[in-house]
């Protein structure tokens, strides 16, 4: 069965919807619907009671013209960790860019840990993505976002056409974090001062918990964990309310992953009070 929306359009329409609820004191996946090239595997239960769910694209990557939409609902009191098995490859787009939209809704006191691997844009790739999180009273979200300059092992730095991204997080309708970026190598050099500073990878961790108060002293362990990583330059800062954001540049994929794991581990302990577990990312 073809997933093309119209024969004259290049690209596939992928859809993923996951709904989690709390039943008998545990988080359970109650609805799972997907259309390739999006898919989600059966979740695993962690010792802390949360569900660990792997999202994937069995086609191997995102192509020009793809329109991919993900909807995730975390019911009240649920705790879900979402990740991917590997980096997401973004392939050449001869015409229309790929478009990816993700919308996540957190119910009261729900906890989301969203930890996908980084994007790898290939030469000629074009991607526009939007990520929206809506949080209710007492909920918590730890969100990771990262990218590479290209296929570094092949020497393909900044060969993609466009990589545009918007991340929006709101708590009870009030904006807490908004980031917009549009990277177009042809229009502006990205490797130099003020952008990538000669590094090949860039990552961000946004951590927000409603009704929390994060101070400079609170984020010192997180800042130290990231800045102490070999091959990484960056750190963390407190938001105006309810959390912090960490941004960092890395010289290699391994350094990027180490910084992510260190920052996520510190954020998990700070906001959730739980130690990290093995994501098997190294």
Which residues make Cβ contacts (< 8 Å) with residue 179, sequence separation at least 6? 165, 166, 167, 204
Tell me what the mean pLDDT of segment 179-203 comes to. Answer: 88
Say if 60 falls within a structural domain: yes
Give the domain range for residue 144: 13-210+243-249
* CA–CA separation, 23 and 251 (whole Å): 44
Say if 259 falls within a structural domain: no
The per-residue pLDDT for range 192-226, each reduced to its tens digit, is: 767 788 999 999 999 999 987 777 787 888 888 89
Say if 223 falls within a structural domain: no
- Residue 149: name the closest of 188, 127, 120, 181 by CA: 120
Domain count, the chain: 1
CA angle at residue 252 from 248 to 254, to 5 degrees?
Answer: 90
- Residue 110: name the closest of 82, 73, 55 by CA: 73
Predicted confidence at residue 211, as pLDDT, reads 82
The residue count for the chain:
282
Say if 61 falls within a structural domain: yes
Tell me what the mean pLDDT of segment 115-132 comes to. Answer: 97
Say if 174 falls within a structural domain: yes
Predicted confidence at residue 32, as pLDDT, reads 97
Say if 205 falls within a structural domain: yes
Tell me what the mean pLDDT of segment 69-90 comes to. Answer: 97
pLDDT at 281 over 90: no
* CA–CA separation, 194 and 19 (whole Å): 41
* CA–CA separation, 96 and 148 (whole Å): 21
pLDDT at 96 over 90: yes
Tell me what the mean pLDDT of segment 261-274 comes to. Answer: 92
Q: What rounded mean pLDDT belongs to the chain? A: 92
Q: How many CA atoms lie within 13 A of 35 on its CB side?
A: 15
Say if 275 falls within a structural domain: no
pLDDT at 282 over 70: no
Say if 54 falls within a structural domain: yes
Tell me what the mean pLDDT of segment 147-176 comes to. Answer: 96
* CA–CA separation, 119 and 100 (whole Å): 12
91 with 85: CB under 8 angstroms? no
- How far, CA to CA in Å, does 103 sit from each of 15, 87, 169, 244, 281? 12, 20, 10, 21, 25
235 with 227: CB under 8 angstroms? yes
210 with 173: CB under 8 angstroms? no
């Amino acid at each position: 069965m073809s997933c093309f929306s119209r024969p004259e359009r290049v690209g596939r329409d992928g859809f993923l919807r996951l709904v989690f609820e709390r039943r008998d004191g545990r988080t359970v996946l109650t609805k799972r619907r997907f259309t390739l090239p999006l898919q989600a595997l059966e979740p695993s239960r962690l010792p802390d009671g949360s569900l660990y769910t792997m999202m994937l694209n069995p086609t191997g990557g995102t192509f020009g013209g793809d329109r991919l939409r993900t909807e995730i609902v975390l019911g009240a009191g649920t705790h879900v960790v979402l990740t991917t098995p590997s980096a997401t490859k973004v392939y050449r787009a001869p015409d229309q860019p790929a478009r990816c939209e993700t919308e996540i809704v957190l119910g009261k006191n729900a906890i989301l840990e969203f930890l996908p691997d980084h994007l790898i844009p290939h030469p000629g790739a074009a991607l526009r993505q939007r990520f929206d999180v809506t949080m209710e009273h007492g909920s918590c979200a730890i969100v990771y976002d990262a990218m590479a300059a290209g296929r570094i092992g092949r020497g393909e730095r900044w060969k993609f056409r466009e990589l545009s991204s918007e991340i929006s997080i709101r708590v009870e309708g009030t904006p807490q974090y908004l980031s917009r970026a549009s990277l177009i190598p042809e229009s502006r050099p990205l490797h130099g001062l003020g952008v990538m500073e000669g590094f090949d990878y860039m990552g961000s961790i946004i951590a927000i918990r409603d009704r929390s108060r994060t101070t400079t002293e609170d984020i010192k362990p997180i800042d130290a964990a990231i800045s102490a990583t070999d091959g990484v330059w960056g750190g963390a800062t407190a938001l105006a309310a309810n959390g912090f954001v960490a941004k960092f540049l890395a010289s290699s994929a391994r350094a990027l992953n180490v910084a992510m794991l260190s920052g996520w581990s510190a954020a998990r302990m700070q906001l959730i009070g739980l130690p990290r577990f093995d994501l098997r990312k190294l």
